[in-house]
Structure formats: C-alpha cells, structure tokens
Structure 1
Amino acid sequence: MKNLFIISLCFLSIGFVAQAQTKKPIKKITTTGKTTPAKTTTSTAKTAATPTTTKAATKPVETDEKTGVKPASKSTKQTKSNAGNTTSYKAALGLKFIYGVALTGKVFIKENAALEGILRYNGAGGLGSNIAFTGLYEYHAPIKGIDGLRWYLGGGGHLNHFSWKDSDADAVTTFGVAGVLGLEYKFANLPLAISADWQPAYIISSPSGFSAENGGIGIKYTF
C-alpha cells in the first residue's frame, strides 16, 4: 500500500509540473495579445493625429491667402487703373503766345522742380525781328482743392537779339536775368497741360533796362 501511495503521489506531482509548464506559454501569449492591441492603438492614434496636424497647418495658409494675397492684388489693379489719371509728368514740349510765338520745352529734375527753355520770335510791330532765349529754373507747388493745378515760381538767364528790317543800323544783342511767375493745369486723362505766366527780365548789358513783355499763354504736350 505504501508503495502504491508513493507511486500515485509521483504521478500527481508529474501532472502538476506538466500543467504548470503548459500554463506558462498561455500566459505569455495572453500578455502578448494584450500588448499587441495597445501598440496598434498607439499607431492608430499616431496616424489619426497626422491628418489633424496637416489640417491645422493648412488653415493658417488659407487665412493668409484670404487676408493677404487678394487685397494686394486688388490694390495692384487699382494702381494700374489709376495710372492713366495722373496729373504729373516728366517732360513736355509746347507753344506759347501773346508776346510773339515761342517754342517751349520743360523737364522735371525733381518732383517739384523743373528746367524750362523758351525760344521766342517777335516781329516787333513790323520794325524788325526779335529773337530771344530764356532759360529758367522753376519751383512747382500744387494748389489744394483742384487736382492738376499748380503754381510755379523761378528765375534764370535771358538772351535777346534784335535786328532792324529797313535800316542800316547794326543788330543789337543783349543779355540779362529773368524771372517767372505762373499757373499750370495738367489734364488728368490727356497728355496736355496749359499755362499762363509772366516772365519779366532785366537787361544787364548796354542798353540796359527792364523788359516786361515776356511770357504768355502756353499749351504743352506732356510725356
């Protein structure tokens, strides 16, 4: 009986050992199975987070395009559309009347400063021919309330040549200084400007004296 009891205990212990060895892999498999979904969930969370980040990155770009690019393009279009309505110009050629006929040319060297040259012919009432050249430096300033209207003031040099028509007297050439005071209006939609000015001169050479018959009404083609 003792031997039979000992043998049965041996079999029971062997059975417990066998069961313990078979249960260990099952626990490992179970734990592995538990961790695998966790990893899958983490990767899923990462992949789900990726498009969310992409959407967040694209939203500011869309906002910038709505607020920044479109207004800039509109202002550019407005600038182009207003380019033909400017009341300023760089240079001009034209004619001036009243004290004879004069050919004028003006070039702006600054926004409010210009050089003007005036070549005038005057028949002197049929007595002869009078040719004069005046070079001026002019300062321009706008008149508030009227777009395109400016006043100008300046000074420069004056050269005059007079020859008699029916006389043996010698021709006379004089020189002196000149001033100018006038108004000018530039049309907004046309390359034209009109002006009215007075250009007094003082003759330094002999015979010296003051000359007030200079200036007139002018019209110029602007560039």
Structure 2
Amino acid sequence: MKKVFLSLLAASFLAIGTNEVNAQARYRTALGLGIDLGDGPTLVGPQIKHFFDGANAGNAQVLFGDDVTVLGVDYSYNQAIAGTNGLNWYVGVGPQLAFIDGGRWWYDDRNDDRTYFALRPAAGLEFKIPSAPLAFHFDWKPWWNLSNRSNFEPARFTLGFKFTLN
C-alpha cells in the first residue's frame, strides 16, 4: 500500500510540474517568419523557437537581404506577465554570422565578400493567442559587430510571426 501511495504521489508531482511548464511556455516549438529591421538593411527569413523547459528557449533563424545572409541562434529566458493570458517578456543573447556577397554592409563601404561575427542581446515581448496556434513577438535586438571594423548599432528590432506546433 505504501508503494502505491508513493507512486501516486510522485505521479501527481510530475503532472503538476508538467502543467506548470506548459502554463509558462504556452507552446513547445514554433515555426515562423522573422523580420529584422531598423537602422540598416531589412532582413527577412524563417525561424524556429523551441522551449527546453518553462522558461528557457532557443531560437534559430536564417535571414536574407540585399547581398547578405545572416545565420543566428539565440538563448532566451521567458516569463509570463502576471494578469495576462498569453503575454510573456523575455531577455536573451546569441551569436550571428552575416555573409556579405560582393555588396556593402550598412556601416562598411567595402564592396567585397566578407563575413561578420556579431553578438545580439535581445529584450522583448511575445504574445501567444490562447485560442489559436499563433504567436507574435517584438523585440529590441541591437547588432554588436565584433569583427571587420567593430561596430555597435542600437537601432535594430525584430518582429516575428509564428505557428505553434505543440
């Protein structure tokens, strides 16, 4: 009897923990479209976001613009905003690689092939529509280039439109 009781108690705690994770994350994985804009070129491309647990997530994107392709991954810490249904805030950071194909990057006048390495901190809001498999985000995501004439561009933002899978 004692083993049955302890098994049920452990299963209850596991179920409560799983519900808590789902309540914070609102979804596990989402696919969508990212738009990176602000001072400089506008970049557009696919993205995927995956929650590792209720608060920690990874995001990957491939963005395209005139003569540039940007590959990036980000880690973010996410929390629900109390009193709202589906609205979360998040902060994060991640590396980005920009591949320039014979064009100019917005702060560098050289017309040749280059690869730029940048770190991009992010702070933003994400809204998951409670009754639909859709989520949207808006964040401030400055570009801190660490290579080829180092530069910091604070006026960069991203918008995201995602279809949540689960």
Band the TM-score falls in, shorter-chain normalisation: 0.7 to 0.9
Aligned residue number for residue 222 of structure 1: 164
Unaligned 5+ runs, structure 2? 1-22, 105-109
Between Structure 1 and Structure 2, the one with more strand by share is 2
Q: Deviations over 1:71-99 (max 9, x none)?
A: xxxxxxxxxxxxxx997000000002243
Aligned residue number for residue 138 of structure 1: 76
Mark the CA change 1:147 to 1:172 in structure 2 (over 3 Å): closer, same or farther. Answer: same
Whole-angstrom distance in 2 between the partners of 1:86 and 1:145: 13
Whole-angstrom distance in 1 between the partners of 2:113 and 2:136: 34
Q: Give 2:46's aligned amino acid.
A: L
Superposed CA RMSD: 2.3
Aligned residue number for residue 105 of structure 1: 48
- Runs of 4+ residues over 6 Å off in structure 1: none
Whole-angstrom distance in 1 between the partners of 2:69 and 2:139: 19
Aligned residue number for residue 199 of structure 1: 141
Between Structure 1 and Structure 2, the one with more helix by share is 1
Aligned residue number for residue 120 of structure 1: 63
Whole-angstrom distance in 1 between the partners of 2:70 and 2:121: 14
Matched, 1:162 2:100: yes
In structure 2, which of residues 97, 112, 118 is the aligned counterpart of residue 176 of structure 1? Answer: 118
Whole-angstrom distance in 2 between the partners of 1:208 and 1:222: 37
Deviation at residue 145 of structure 1 after TM alignment: 1.6
Mark the CA change 1:161 to 1:86 in structure 2 (over 3 Å): closer, same or farther. Answer: closer
Q: How many residues are aligned here?
A: 133
Aligned residue number for residue 128 of structure 2: 186
Which of structures 1 and 2 has the larger relative contact order (alpha carbons within 8 angstroms, sep 6+)? 2
In structure 2, which of residues 133, 151, 156 is the aligned counterpart of residue 209 of structure 1? Answer: 151
Aligned residue number for residue 26 of structure 2: 88
Q: Based on CA coordinates, which of the two structures has the bigger radius of gyration?
A: 1
* Cα pair 2:24 2:55 within 8 Å, conserved: no
* Cα pair 1:96 1:215 within 8 Å, conserved: no
Whole-angstrom distance in 2 between the partners of 1:172 and 1:87: 38
2:101 is paired with a residue whose SS is: strand
Q: TM-score, normalised by structure 2?
A: 0.72
Task: Calculate percent identity across the aligned residue pairs.
Answer: 29
